[in-house]
Chain A
């Protein structure tokens, strides 16, 4: 194998290097009312630089799947790797940033101190902590709000601060669990655009949980449609709009076609039944 070939191969690997690989993953919760099959035989791979959305009704296991990736839950059977490591090893190596449904900012810390929290825990020096926190607050358009306490910020700003916190230690992988679910649609549209810019600029891999079809189609390069009881994957829909798309694409026939396919997938999974 000569140098040129090796180089080509390296590039090809980088382009499709799997960040997350799940094989036959199942998770069963034992409850007083009998077992709950939260995940059932899930196969999934997420490649580097992708933006993958999990969509499905409540209880379909999309959050559980994200929590398994983050080592916040443990699969009952099957295998999963994150950057070639087990989820636990990946968590211990701090390889992902997690954004929760609620901002979960600590109320006794100012915005900048909240963003610096993971950096403190990693033992980073004061000057670098502050520099990184400021850079990431800039990135989410919160420059100038660093000295404010969380309650002085609107819901959307709080969630942006929590994204800055997840980005502060520069993880390659960003796990987001319905981060904009509690926000109104106008704020959500704006944050979706900002998130897309951020993903485009930083080249991170994003795994995003949502129950909004337009949000999933607008943001993703790949949509994973899930259905409940048991939680399983119904369809995986590629979605390759240009990386610098704007909200306008939501009126295009291509966009509506993908949205239609997502809806069909949800219907096939009986997501609309009671």
Chain B
């Protein structure tokens, strides 16, 4: 008999139930917080909308809530109004007037045929996302480039660093119209001015993160390169750059989210007719609060999607670079 066989085997653990596992993960707590926010939101609709002239006078509390949740131009639209606006502004009107709990309504809600017209909210999202991505690319390259210069030259660090920090103390809302006007004067309009505003915002976290990352190798690792008589370029490529990758991705996640903010802000003063920013602006002109909220939610969703995408790429690259699972 081997020693192994003589040892008692560990007790087999019961597999936890699906509910226990959901609760142990992120889904459970997130769902609870979401439900609390939705509840609070529905409750607040009456205090916010109750004094509007479009509210019918009198009635019980239940009637007043029902009315407050169904206004055409509420101050605070109910969540389901925003959801319906998202549905109709992306896939067109529902096929019939059937109301919520019916099977017909649910069938209508999910049978979606996207018409690619400038009235479609997805069209606006694509316009904003394209300038976001161009701006993100420009900003990331600028940030990495600045970081490389700063790490390799004390003079550049001393001269550039104050300007980099000062650049972020200027409100983007103040500088965005200037950029739009100056570039329009040079005949540059459309996507590029918005992308530049995005880049202006998002180069900063990339530069700061990369400086930290490129400086992260310890003295030992740098001394090692010295004993091999490695050139600065080799030390950069084989030590500093790989060491900076985790820092870079942490910065890129911040950068892509604020790049979207930059693109939206860039659409406000430019008189743009397309883009999520333009939709928000026209919604506020015409008192279409539901439209603003729908654009807002789509923007948040798109930002979450882009951050998640960067996260997936990060995981893949870090895994290839031997990170602990």
Contacts and interface: CB of A to CB of B under 8 A. Distances in A.
A70 B218 CA distance: 18
Interface in B281-324: 321-324
A106 B242 contact: yes
A261 B321 CA distance: 50
A8 to B, nearest CB: 37
A94 interface: yes
Contacts of A118: 228
A97 B223 CA distance: 12
A247 interface: no
Given A106-B221, A120-B238, A91 B229 contact: yes
Q: How large is the interface on B (under 10, 10 to 19, 20 to 34, 35 or more residues)?
A: 20 to 34
A98 interface: yes
A213 interface: no
Interface string A260-273: 00000000000000
Contacts of B323: 107
B242 A108 contact: yes
A3 interface: no
A151 B234 CA distance: 24
A197 B225 CA distance: 28
A91 B227 contact: yes
B62 to A, nearest CB: 61
Nearest to B230: A121
Contact of B322 (A72, A96, A110): A110
A142 interface: no
A92 B324 CA distance: 36
Interface string A83-104: 0000000011110111011101
B227 A70 contact: yes
B165 interface: no
A97 B242 CA distance: 23
Interface string A35-68: 0000000000000000000000000000000000
Interface of B, helix, strand, loop or mixed by DSSP: helix
Contacts of B21: none
A117 interface: yes
A106 to B, nearest CB: 7
What is the interface of chain A mostly: helix, strand, loop, or mixed?
loop
Interface in A138-177: 149-151
Contact of B220 (A93, A102, A110): A102
Contacts of B133: none
B239 interface: yes
Given A102-B220, A121-B238, A151 B324 contact: yes
Contacts, number: 57
B238 A98 contact: no
B227 A72 contact: yes
A161 B223 CA distance: 17
- A98, A106, A149: which has the most chain B beta carbons within 10 Å? A106
B80 interface: no
A118 B322 CA distance: 20
Nearest to A149: B322
A109 interface: yes
Interface in B183-218: 218
A151 B325 CA distance: 11
Nearest to A119: B228
A121 B234 contact: yes
Contacts of B322: 107-110, 149-151
Interface in A110-124: 110, 117-118, 120-122
Contacts of B232: none
B239 A106 contact: yes
Interface string A183-197: 000000000000000
Contacts of A121: 225, 228-230, 234, 238
Contact of B224 (A71, A96, A100, A108): A100
Nearest to B226: A72
A93 B224 CA distance: 15
Contacts of B226: 71-72, 91
19 contacts: A70-B227, A91-B226, A91-B227, A91-B229, A97-B227, A98-B223, A101-B220, A106-B221, A106-B239, A106-B242, A107-B323, A109-B322, A117-B228, A121-B225, A121-B228, A121-B230, A121-B238, A122-B228, A151-B322
Interface of A: 70-72, 91-94, 96-98, 100-102, 104, 106-110, 117-118, 120-122, 149-151
